[in-house]
Amino acid sequence: MLEKLLGGGKLEKKVLDTTKKYLQILRSAMECLKNVFLTENIEGTYCIDALEREADSLRREIISIIYEGAFLPYIRPNICNFIEITEKAFDALKTCAFEFRYLNKDLFQKIKEDVLRIANINLDMSEILIKAFSALIEKNNIREKNLAIRIYEKRVDEIKSDIADKIRKWEITNFWDGKNISEFIEALTKISDIIEDASDYLYIIDLSLK
Amino acid sequence: MAKKIYEIMNTKLETIPADATVYEAIEKLIDKRIRSLLVLPKDEKDRPGVVTVRNIIFKVLAKNLDPHKVKISEISSKPLITVSKEATVEDVLALMEKYNIARVFIKEGDEIVGVVSFFDIMAHILIERAKS
């Protein structure tokens, strides 16, 4: 639909294919983070930085193809905004991986189960976001994908509140331990917020094309 | 393969002692924004039960009884309908339909480890639809 409506030229196709690749990298980064939590392997956190760099280069490619003239002018900012929203998810993933390197692992054990639940949800959400993007292009039901993402986001909010309840009961005497765990959880739970924003944005693009 | 119920169950179980008053239960339900509480057994011979908003409305409030005076043990539902955490979502749905209940408790051995409500099942179905 998006291709048809906007001409479906070579440049447009390139933008859509590259965006799909970009979202696939986001999904890989989510999987990478989940594996880091499972294995508690610090070295694994560096895969996020590598994937972020790869995504960064794709993002620049997408923006430059749009600058070359892909899509009608009124749709260009929408695609750019969508890419910029998802870029924030990479920032949150990177912060999360960085904080994990310095996290007090005894404290981590106490919330590992909740953290893994969030990581699993983030991964599922990124998969649904890819499907939502495909649904936008193929003019399928994007509303259902958007709803599922909202359900997942609420679930993450609930888990975040459970974690906060647990953490408030701990006596953390080391400043850095407290700062690390606080920033780690903030970044981890922010990912689902960003994916929800990206999904909402796709939904708005879908509505604006009707 | 059918999804196992432990993958979607809610592990945060809110409990209340059997000798608490209905008013205490109401306060907890409102504070936590939930619709049921697991009622702890009175002693070793007793079994856990559940008290729901439905129980409170029909057995206390609609009858103009004083929620400060009625004990939870007088209105809770027993025995709990439970399934193993290895049961499938379909197994739980079948139980809900058979007993006309809105939630099923999940057991691991003898311990209750979670609860699944209609809302969790609806969310699960919607997510699966979005994934397909």
pLDDT tens string B72-130: 999 999 889 999 999 999 999 999 999 999 999 999 988 999 999 999 999 999 999 99
Test mutation, A151, A192, A202, chain B, max B CBs within 10 A: A151
Pairing relationship of beta strands B103-108 and B82-84 according to DSSP bridges = parallel
Q: Best interface-test mutation with B: which of A121, A140, A144, A149 has the largest number of B CBs within 10 A? A: A144
pLDDT at A187 over 90: yes
Q: Does domain A2-208 have CATH number 3.30.565.10?
A: no
Indicate the domain borders of chain A. Answer: 2-208
Distances (CA, A) of A125 to A27, A146, B40, B95: 9, 10, 37, 30
CA distance A178 to A175: 5
By CB neighbour count within 10 A (0-12 exposed, 13-18 middle, 19+ buried), where does A192 fall? buried
Taking a C-beta distance cutoff of 8 angstroms, is the pair A2, A137 a contact? yes
The pLDDT value given to residue A1: 56
Q: What are the boundaries of each domain within chain B?
A: 5-131
Predicted confidence (pLDDT) per residue in B30-68, tens digit:
998 889 999 999 888 888 999 999 999 999 999 999 999
* B126 to A145: CB separation less than 8 angstroms, yes or no: no
Considering only alpha carbons, which residue of chain A is nearest residue B123? A151
For helices A175-208 and A105-138, the axis angle rounded to 10 degrees is 10
Higher pLDDT, A3 or A114: A114
- Strand pairing class (B36-40; B15-17): parallel
Question: Hey, of A133, A147, A157, A160, which one would you mutate to test binding to chain B, going by the most B CBs within 10 A of its CB?
Answer: A147
- How far is the C-alpha of A91 from the C-alpha of B18, rounded, in Å? 49
- Rounded to an integer, the average pLDDT of A30-52 is 94
Tell me whether residues A152 and B12 touch, CB distance under 8 A: no
- State whether A148 and B127 contact (CB < 8 Å): yes
What is the residue-wise DSSP string for B80-111? PPEEETTSBHHHHHHHHHHHT-SEEEEEETTE
DSSP result, B14-70: -EEETTSBHHHHHHHHHHHT-SEEEEEPSSTTS--EEEEHHHHIIIIITTT--TTTS
Asked whether the predicted pLDDT for residue A6 surpasses 60, the reply is: no
- pLDDT, mean of residues A59-79: 88
Given the candidates 3.10.580.10, 3.30.70.1230, 3.30.70.3040, 1.10.760.10, the CATH classification of the domain at B5-131 is: 3.10.580.10
| Lateral strand order in the sheet of B49-52 | B15-17, B36-40, B49-52
For residue B125, what is the nearest residue in chain A, using CA coordinates? A148
| Predicted local confidence at residue A183, as pLDDT | 95
φ and ψ at residue B9, rounded to 5 degrees: -70, 160
Q: Give the closest residue to B111 by CA, choosing from B22, B36, B6.
A: B6
Question: Mean per-residue pLDDT for A150-175?
Answer: 91
Q: Cα distance from B7 to chain A (closest Cα, Å)?
A: 10
- Do B119 and A151 meet the contact criterion of CB atoms below 8 Å apart? no
In angstroms, what separates the C-alpha of A69 from chain B's closest C-alpha? 33
d(C-alpha A70, C-alpha A65), whole Å:
6
- Residues B124/B8, Cβ–Cβ less than 8 Å: yes
Nearest CA in chain B to A145: B130
A204 confidence band (pLDDT: 50, 70, 90) = confident
Task: Report ipTM (2 d.p.).
Answer: 0.78
Q: What are the strands of the beta sheet with B82-84, ordered from one edge?
A: B82-84, B103-108, B111-117
CB-CB neighbors (< 8 A) of B126 in chain A: 144, 147-148, 151
